[in-house]
A and B are shown apart, each in its own frame.
Chain A
Amino acid sequence: MNKSGKTLFEKVWEDHLVVEETQETPAILYIDLHLIHEVTTPQAFQSLRDQGLPVRAPNKVLATMDHSTPTLPIRSIRDLDIVVEKGPADQIRDMIRNCEEFGIELFGFDSDKRGIVHVIGPELGATQPGKTIVCGDSHTSTHGAFGALAFGIGTTEVGHVLASQCLLQRKPKTFAVNMNGTLNPGVTAKDIILKIIQQTGVGGGVGHVIEYRGSTAGSLSLEERMTICNMSIEAGARAGMFAPDDKTFEYLIDKPMSPKGSDWDQAIEKWSQLFTDEHADFDNEISVDVGRLTPMVTYGTNPGMAIQIDDIVPEENGDLGYRQSLNYMQIEAGKPILGKDIDVVFIGSCTNSRISDLQDAAEIFKDRKVSHGVKALIVPGSQAVKKEAENLGLDKIFESAGAEWRESGCSMCLGMNGDTVGNGKLAVSTSNRNFEGRQGKGARTILASPKTAAASAIAGSVEDPRKYS
């Protein structure tokens, strides 16, 4: 095997080795950017406190609140208890205290920079090519869209990074996903990633870092790349990456935390080296024909259980628990998903809450009404996205269609803040997980793109967005 070249992942990995791995010990990997939020950090801060340790590099920590936060507006922190329950409210107050005590700047309620951690990292320019980025959240894979090595960690590891700016890691394997062809109208990046996960299965990427490549890769916008990288974890992968290109640099130029002046020129020079060499090998490889894709929807209780929107639910997929999954969903094998009545539509989450996602949805909502009896909730990914959407008048389109327009946050993706689908109710959601009860106890979830979600809200049932374009 010709192994003269390096993959994109290997270049970033090697650039961050403080200590190389050996047979006996894992590598010590340096972390450039640590994103933190209120849910997976309290125990880590407590552990530092117990050991009398400071935060090593507070300027490399980006802190916000997103998971437990209310999406109804609050004027001050004193109003918190009115809009959320005691648990989330206490967690939010704990986050504020921890950041104060350890000297970390927090983008809290009074900040126009607040938002879902994976939305604000890129929009602030903190996410950059070649960086190592971690967060106590599995969707940290999102940031790989910029050519960063970004992955989720547990709370113990959050403590390690706070104390040492380093992480113990075994080198993952590499996985190439070759995407070729051009997206057809009505088909989106969300449909590409659902198709990929359907192909790999939810465990297919375990132990690997995916690189998304092929002729489609360069044609996708950064927001589309983020949607794809975001759900790498749903294929079981450690991370997902795109090689940075001119689109990446264009996105980052002039962002608040991007390099400026001559630093920018140097950065471009360095970032331009971040690609997989011609003769590099991957440990695993699959291909996806993007030109033949149609809108995708899930029918079961994991993101790999996906079909084309006009297809029928398979009789079997060989998995232990397949029938249990269909029973939970109240979906029948051998029948279509299209036309199935729904109760809720959620447009939001770190997968699909950016401005292009909201524009996709607005195009369909414009001059139409949400079907009677359907609750449609639209939650922007950040306060900045919210403002931009309002400047474009999208909020008016949503509200006149009868959808609810909220403050930013994770919201109904996981229902921690009280925004839930409802017991037994069926939702079409632009989020990333259709696990049992993911969107609240008893909630049933169909994952789809913002276009499909919007079309379904109008129809009152699972609908093909191509009907409205």
Chain B
Amino acid sequence: MDKIIEFTSKTVVLAVNDIDTDQIIPARFLTVTTKDGLGDGLFTDWRFDEAGNKIKDFPLNQKKSDGCSILVTGSNFGCGSSREHAPWALVDYGFKAILSTSFADIFRNNALKNGLLPLTVSEDFHRMLIDNEGIQVTISLETMCIQSSNGVRENFELEHFSRYCLMNGIDQLGFILNHEDQINAYENKG
């Protein structure tokens, strides 16, 4: 996994609460056995019409969102199914961070294991992002801060362990397997 320290991007806004993982990637895209190419299915029923043409009004389809790697969404993003295909699809499409006022638990866990930052921001900062769609922001794991190009700055929280793994590109399984002795001891105590 690549190390993540700091990155800058314009933002794209989907101002809808409770966006579930069935919207992020519908079940019909889940009949795969690899992680490849899932970006094609990202928000597919919101991006494309019946004939398969792009729906012009949809934020991700607008020219100004080309190359955006930061998505701003409504609260409780990623609720519903545990499918890790949701963060896989977001990453494959090119997203590196989701900014919201809250996230569903399983989605948040899954995102952090795939180098996708699910960052919880304050209501005020969230409102600013929605009111200034497209604004450029810099996210730094070093300083734990989001700096927007209009000068507004927001600190965020991220638990130490996840931050350490993301900044060093470490897979979390290694940490568990380093506790082999303790696992054996637990199993043997019956």
Are A320 and B15 in contact, with the CB atoms below 8 A?
yes
Q: Which of A86-94, A109-117, A274-282, A460-468 contacts B (4 or more CB under 8 A)?
A: A86-94
Q: How large is the interface on B (under 10, 10 to 19, 20 to 34, 35 or more residues)?
A: 35 or more
Are B76 and A206 in contact, with the CB atoms below 8 A?
yes
Which residues from B are CB-within-8-Å of A90? 31, 33
Q: B160 contacts the other chain (Cβ, under 8 Å)?
A: yes
Are A163 and B33 in contact, with the CB atoms below 8 A?
no
Query: What's the nearest-Cβ distance from chain B to residue A158, in Å?
Result: 9
Q: How far is the CA of A67 from the CA of B83 in the complex (A)?
A: 12
Not counting A23-B160, A42-B32, A203-B75, a sample of 6 additional A-B residue pairs whose C-beta atoms are within 8 angstroms of each other reads: A25-B160, A90-B31, A157-B110, A206-B104, A320-B74, A321-B16
Q: How far is the CA of A18 from the CA of B175 in the complex (A)?
A: 13
CB contacts under 8 Å to A, within B160-178, are: 160-161, 164, 172-173, 175-177
Are B20 and A435 in contact, with the CB atoms below 8 A?
yes
Q: Kindly report which residue of chain A lies nearest to residue B46, judged by CB atoms.
A: A436
Q: Kindly report which residue of chain B lies nearest to residue A237, judged by CB atoms.
A: B105
Are B17 and A321 in contact, with the CB atoms below 8 A?
yes
Q: A437 contacts the other chain (Cβ, under 8 Å)?
A: yes
Q: Kindly report which residue of chain B lies nearest to residue A45, judged by CB atoms.
A: B33
Where the two chains meet, the residues of A that have a C-beta atom closer than 8 Å to any C-beta of B are 18-19, 23-26, 28, 30, 39-40, 42-43, 46, 51, 67-68, 85, 87-88, 90-91, 94, 136-138, 152-157, 159-160, 163-168, 170, 172, 202-203, 206-207, 233-234, 236, 238, 302, 304, 319-321, 324, 414-416, 433, 435-438, 440-442
Query: What's the nearest-Cβ distance from chain A to residue B115, in Å?
Result: 11
Query: What's the nearest-Cβ distance from chain A to residue B182, in Å?
Result: 5
6 tightest A-B CB contacts, nearest first? A87-B31, A203-B76, A154-B110, A42-B33, A154-B84, A152-B82
Are A164 and B84 in contact, with the CB atoms below 8 A?
no
* 9 cross-chain CB contacts under 8 A: A39-B31, A156-B113, A166-B183, A206-B105, A236-B104, A321-B18, A414-B22, A435-B22, A438-B27
CB contacts under 8 Å to A, within B102-116, are: 102-106, 109-110, 113-114
Q: B28 contacts the other chain (Cβ, under 8 Å)?
A: yes
Are A138 and B183 in contact, with the CB atoms below 8 A?
no
Q: How far is the CA of A203 from the CA of B104 in the complex (A)?
A: 7
Are B80 and A320 in contact, with the CB atoms below 8 A?
no
Are A153 and B82 in contact, with the CB atoms below 8 A?
yes
Which residues from B are CB-within-8-Å of A156? 84, 110, 113-114, 172
Q: B81 contacts the other chain (Cβ, under 8 Å)?
A: yes
Q: How far is the CA of A136 from the CA of B110 in the complex (A)?
A: 11
Q: Kindly report which residue of chain B lies nearest to residue A68, judged by CB atoms.
A: B31
Q: B133 contacts the other chain (Cβ, under 8 Å)?
A: no
Q: How far is the CA of A30 from the CA of B113 in the complex (A)?
A: 19
Select B183's contact among A164, A170, A435, beta carbons within 8 Å: A164
CB contacts under 8 Å to A, within B69-107, are: 74-76, 79-84, 87, 102-106
Q: Kindly report which residue of chain B lies nearest to residue A84, judged by CB atoms.
A: B31
Q: Count CB-based A-B contacts (< 8 Å).
A: 175
Query: What's the nearest-Cβ distance from chain A to residue B69, in Å?
Result: 21
Query: What's the nearest-Cβ distance from chain A to residue B179, in Å?
Result: 6
Which residues from B are CB-within-8-Å of A324? 16
From known contacts A24-B161, A415-B28, infer whether A154 and B102 are also in contact, taking CB-CB under 8 Å.
no
Are B27 and A414 in contact, with the CB atoms below 8 A?
yes
From known contacts A138-B106, A319-B18, A438-B22, infer whether A18 and B182 are also in contact, taking CB-CB under 8 Å.
yes
Are B33 and A43 in contact, with the CB atoms below 8 A?
yes
Are B176 and A166 in contact, with the CB atoms below 8 A?
yes
Which residues from A are CB-within-8-Å of B33? 42-43, 46, 90-91, 94
Are A416 and B31 in contact, with the CB atoms below 8 A?
yes
Which residues from A are CB-within-8-Å of B80? 138, 233-234, 433, 435
Query: What's the nearest-Cβ distance from chain B to residue A260, in Å?
Result: 17
Query: Which among B75, B109, B172 has the greatest number of chain A C-beta atoms within 10 A?
Result: B109
Select B176's contact among A88, A154, A164, A202, beta carbons within 8 Å: A164
Are B31 and A321 in contact, with the CB atoms below 8 A?
no
Which residues from B are CB-within-8-Å of A170? 159
Which residues from A are CB-within-8-Å of B79? 202-203, 236, 302
Which residues from B are CB-within-8-Å of A94? 33
Q: How far is the CA of A24 from the CA of B159 in the complex (A)?
A: 7
From known contacts A202-B18, A236-B76, A236-B79, infer whether A154 and B183 are also in contact, taking CB-CB under 8 Å.
no
Q: B134 contacts the other chain (Cβ, under 8 Å)?
A: no
Query: What's the nearest-Cβ distance from chain B to residue A283, in Å?
Result: 15
Q: How far is the CA of A147 from the CA of B76 in the complex (A)?
A: 27
